[in-house]
Amino acid sequence: MKNEIVQTLPLKIAYVFLQGNGLAKESTTIRNSKAKLGSYDTSVKRAMVVTELTRHHLLDRFIAEHWTHGVTPKDRRSLHGSTRFTSGTKSIGIATGETATENDESPQGTPFAYEEHLRDYLAQHLELLEKELKPWRVGEEDTVEFPVGGRRVDILAKDKAGLPVVVELKVSRGHERTIGQALYYRAKIKEMSKVERVRIFIVALELSPELRAAAKELPDVLLFEYSLSMTVRSV
């Protein structure tokens, strides 16, 4: 089938390839990762591998040397991630062009390899969460990893009305304890910014039933789920 991957990315070969190219630490981290999508961990590990290969400009060489049956060499191809965020019944998708994964176990896509990848991507595309949502800088501090009371908010933003928005990210599952953390940030931001309202956005691959129930009891809290899939295009 033209333009489709027909063989899964070979993980064992990928680990050796990473090690041989100065990425032994990354290879070990991926191999030992306990992250799962449902009952599977290989999709997540493949996502991590492709992320590292892409970041270090090694993906084309790995494909040419070790994955020729997965991505045919006769066409020049590029891997494009498709990220989808959902809130209630609404969903938004966008091509990232940065993170890609071979996914043969689950049609639901795979999580971002690392939480900081999701954080940095969302910081550049806040409009995916809400129209006219923008970064909010306070003094000299960056909006990403914003320091609050000895901890750090993943992203500090502001909505079109000028209200602060705490964006809290969970690369896998969001549990009810996430609410407590976000409420602490809300209280500190209110204190620092002298405002009466601070909104909370929680983004996760999967939201636990307990988190969903807790969020319904609190004002100004929105929940989002994301998924990641891959397409292959000829260029």
CATH of the domain at 192: 3.40.1350.10
pTM for this predicted structure: 0.56
pLDDT for 198 equals 96
Nearest-angstrom CA–CA distance, 201 and 119: 13
Lowest mean pLDDT among 1-10, 118-127, 157-166, 196-205: 1-10
Residue ranges of alpha helices (H) inside 58-114 are 59-66
Give me the helix-helix angle, 59-66 and 11-20, nearest 10°. Answer: 130
Take residue 43 and report the two structure tokens written for it: 């999709």
Tell me, yes or no, whether 211 lies in a domain: yes
CB-CB contact of 189 with 152 (8 Å): no
The residue ranking higher by pLDDT, 134 or 103, is: 134
pLDDT of 76 strictly over 50: no
pLDDT confidence of residue 20: 93
Q: How many CA atoms lie within 13 A of 8 on its CB side?
A: 13
Tell me the mean pLDDT in the region 95-123. Answer: 50
Q: According to the model, what pLDDT value does residue 109 have?
A: 40
Residue 146 has pLDDT above 80, yes or no: yes
In a domain, 5, yes or no: no
Q: What are the distances in angstroms from CA 33 to CA 27, 43, 60, 165, 207? A: 10, 11, 24, 32, 21
Cβ atoms 135, 119 nearer than 8 A = no
Same domain, 188 and 148: yes
Q: Which residues contact 43 (CB under 8 A, 6 or more apart)?
A: 37, 101, 102, 103, 104, 105, 106, 110
- When divided into structural domains, the chain yields a total of 2
Count the residues in the chain: 235
| Assigned domain for 198 exists | yes
16-45 pLDDT, tens per residue?
Answer: 999 999 999 999 988 888 765 544 567 678
Write out the residue range of the structural domain in which residue 72 sits: 11-111+227-234
Q: Report, as an integer, the average pLDDT of 88-95.
A: 39
90 and 45 share one domain:
yes
